[in-house]
Chain A
Amino acid sequence: MTAVGSKFRSTQESVSQPRGSLAHLPPELLARVLSFLPEPRLTETLKLSVTSKQFHEASKLLMRSLDVAEVKQHTLTQGDLELVLRRLPRLRRLEADLWLVSDTIAAEIPSTVQDLALCGCHSNSDELLTALRCTESLHRFALTTFGNGLTRRGFETFAQRCRSLTSFSIDGGFQFPVNEVVLEVARGCQLQELAAYDLTMVTLLSLARYTEFGISKNLRRLSLKRYSLNSAGLCDSTMQMFRQYYTALSELTFLDFRREDAPPTEDLTDAGIQSLMGLRLSTIRLSRQSNYGVPRVSIGALMQLLQALSSATTVELSNFKALSDAPMVELVTLHGQGLTNVCLDFTRISDLSLEMLAIYAPSLRQLSVKACRNVTDKGLMLLGKHRGLEGINCSYAAGVTDEVVTSLCRYHSLRAAILNSASITDKGMEALASCPHLEEVSVLGAKGITSKGLQQLGNGCPALRHVCVAWCEQISDGGVVGLAEGCRGLLKLRLDGCRRISNPSIKALARFSKRLRHLSLQNLPRVSGEALEHLARLISLRSVVLTSTGSTPTKITSEERSNFARIRPDVSFKPLDGLSARFPDPI
């Protein structure tokens, strides 16, 4: 066996080991074995490289041919990321977080990369885009930036260099010139997929009208989110514009996150829905978060829309007041076989819809029925029939009990369980703990959960990244320590209102949760300034929320907060992943 550039020459002599043993495999074959590890393959391979010198050689070999590196859950430093990228000469897909990384990294990204997703770019500038070497081969580009450094200029030159770009996704704050940037990119590239936010009607029309953009012929997937008052809203004229100009669309997502209670200046009615029927959509996602919702689309129009879909896979019609069982029956009867994602938050569906889904939608993977008041535990129990169910949200629905949760976890396939305001106890947590792929759990307000339940979750679900146990008032330090020890990959944790929690919890997090980015510690009267000393050691930390509302006292003094802010100026006291960065105007 050659050393393959490694200074750790393997000493497992084949003489002492039988032929039919792992130790006898040449490194190329061990590398081939490792290539079958599930994602995240890169990190798994690196972790195993300390097993033996043979493994170390094999992992180096594997990296030479590895084409995917998804490392955005890790807060890599500049040095770390440079080292990794230099060892991946054949990389095709890169997903990375640039919180601690400067623009110069762009030059290290192999020119073979076709699919690039960068997030956490809060301190990057146009130089990041200029220095990219992979622009020739780039097909897909996704960028998330809540900083101020990237401008229209940067994207102008970028787009001119990216001749093969067909997919562009941009997410950022309200100060980011998203409209100009989207126009620049569309001008330079023939986009088939576009995901953006706060696009104005003018932008959407310009994109369509200038034939040089090719939107009419080429754009198949469009995803828009709305936070700003000035941007195009969920209304008839927007839908009519899509019908007229965006004729190649097969997937449309339009999510309006604005919360004002007053009706919008222009609303969505049956006319707008009928416009959409002129497109051949297989994915439709429409929602409006405000209390006003979407009251002016009738049940008839909804039924027609669902009938007109062509081989539907994803359907979301959140907050459509007229959405009840009848249109759902229509949807499931026609398209049940292919349905994978369904979201019916804030609608009037009842157990009947859930029954229909259980019988006729065998491929269902994601279901959300948040705040569906007519749903009961009987309907929710039926959801346990879905073998491949990966994501469920039944927050604020009535009747989410331990039995329901146990039923949902029957096939142990869950990756996300959002069960806010449910009446579950440690029994429910035990059921969740039987799902080893769980990445996201939220059980806000479950007063019946104790530390034992949280410990079980920590034991059973090592892949957890986002956990919310806010207002689970019985939880104490033992639970948090158990969670931290078991789930080393925690990125976000909410412990608001768990009033029994004190400093040992925070100390455990500082010790075990090396990747922790967002921590919410509101209304915790027993946590003192010592906790901040522990947290100061977490380099990946980006936000920590310490406010106390109402009459809850806090032991943390403002001096201690200032001290922390001085040592860690990069950490925000506001919830960074919340919506404050998005909404320019008070809602």
Chain B
Amino acid sequence: MGKVKLRSSDAELFEVEEEVAFESHTVKNMIEDVDEEGSDAPIPLPNVNAKILAKVIEYCKHQVETRKESEDKAASEESIKNWEANFVNVDQNTLFELILAANYLNIKSLLDLTCLTVANMIKGKNPEEIRRTFHIKNDFTPEEEEEVKRENQWAFE
């Protein structure tokens, strides 16, 4: 198995196993498009900074490892859940950067995990609580808000 070099937006280089890099369909396609001579050049990822790329690589490594250990199935389900819960236990900034990175790098499992995490933060909250939690401005005018409510009045009751 060869190694792949990835370059973050802030010019930091990360060297990873090919199979780890291939967790990202975007990277996989980039690598497969490049011909053999240029295969040593680092893959540029202008949309992902070093801090986030490090996290993404950590995730991909874990994915590859757990797939290899899958004989002991019962034990790993619980421990995977724990590992993932720990992995997404980050500040909002990092969490949303991870979503954008997972989307750009096309890593479905990471995208699902991070989106689910945000959904759990949204779950059970009313609009005002959501605005507060995520620092969102209510950009509806009172009339606009009224109209949106009226459209689906039944759902609010």
Known: A12-B139, A22-B92, A29-B99. A56 touches B148 (CB 8 A): yes
The answer on a CB contact under 8 Å between A8 and B94 is no
Known: A8-B144, A48-B127. A33 touches B152 (CB 8 A): no
Q: A151 within 8 Å of B by Cβ?
A: no
A-B pair count, CB < 8 Å, reads: 117
Chain A residues near B139: list those with CB within 8 A: 10-12, 52-53
* Alpha-carbon distance A12/B152, docked complex (angstroms): 24
- Least Cβ–Cβ distance between B16 and chain A, in angstroms: 23
The answer on a CB contact under 8 Å between A50 and B127 is yes
The answer on a CB contact under 8 Å between B136 and A20 is no
* Alpha-carbon distance A208/B119, docked complex (angstroms): 49
The answer on a CB contact under 8 Å between A22 and B154 is no
Q: B118 within 8 Å of A by Cβ?
A: yes
Chain B residues near A17: list those with CB within 8 A: 135
In the complex, identify which listed stretch (A73-81, A127-135, A246-254) lies at the interface while the others stay far away. A73-81
The residues in A between 137 and 190 inclusive whose CB is less than 8 angstroms from any CB of B are none
Q: B122 within 8 Å of A by Cβ?
A: yes
Chain B residues near A44: list those with CB within 8 A: 123
Chain A residues near B92: list those with CB within 8 A: 20-22
Known: A20-B92, A22-B92. A36 touches B119 (CB 8 A): yes
The answer on a CB contact under 8 Å between B93 and A32 is no
Question: Chain B at the A interface: mostly helix, strand, loop or mixed?
Answer: helix
The residues in B between 131 and 157 inclusive whose CB is less than 8 angstroms from any CB of A are 131, 134-140, 144-145, 148-149, 151-157
The residues in A between 333 and 369 inclusive whose CB is less than 8 angstroms from any CB of B are none
The answer on a CB contact under 8 Å between B95 and A74 is no
Contact of B103 among A11, A18, A29, A514 (CB under 8 A): A29
A interface bracket (residues with beta carbon within 8 Å of B): 35 or more
Q: B13 within 8 Å of A by Cβ?
A: no
Q: A38 within 8 Å of B by Cβ?
A: yes
The answer on a CB contact under 8 Å between A37 and B123 is yes
Q: B18 within 8 Å of A by Cβ?
A: no
Q: B57 within 8 Å of A by Cβ?
A: no
Q: A51 within 8 Å of B by Cβ?
A: yes
Contact of A80 among B111, B148, B154 (CB under 8 A): B154
Contact of A47 among B112, B127, B145 (CB under 8 A): B127
The answer on a CB contact under 8 Å between B136 and A12 is yes
The answer on a CB contact under 8 Å between A21 and B134 is yes
For the complex with contacts A34-B122, A47-B126, A47-B127, 19 further pairs of A-B residues with Cβ separation under 8 Å are A10-B139, A12-B139, A20-B97, A21-B96, A23-B135, A23-B136, A36-B119, A37-B119, A38-B123, A42-B155, A46-B155, A48-B127, A49-B152, A50-B148, A51-B127, A54-B136, A74-B155, A77-B154, A80-B154
Q: What are some 24 contacts across the A-B interface (CB < 8 A)?
A: A8-B148, A12-B136, A19-B97, A20-B92, A20-B100, A21-B96, A22-B96, A23-B136, A29-B115, A35-B115, A36-B112, A42-B155, A47-B127, A47-B155, A50-B127, A52-B140, A53-B140, A54-B136, A55-B127, A56-B148, A74-B154, A80-B152, A80-B153, A80-B154
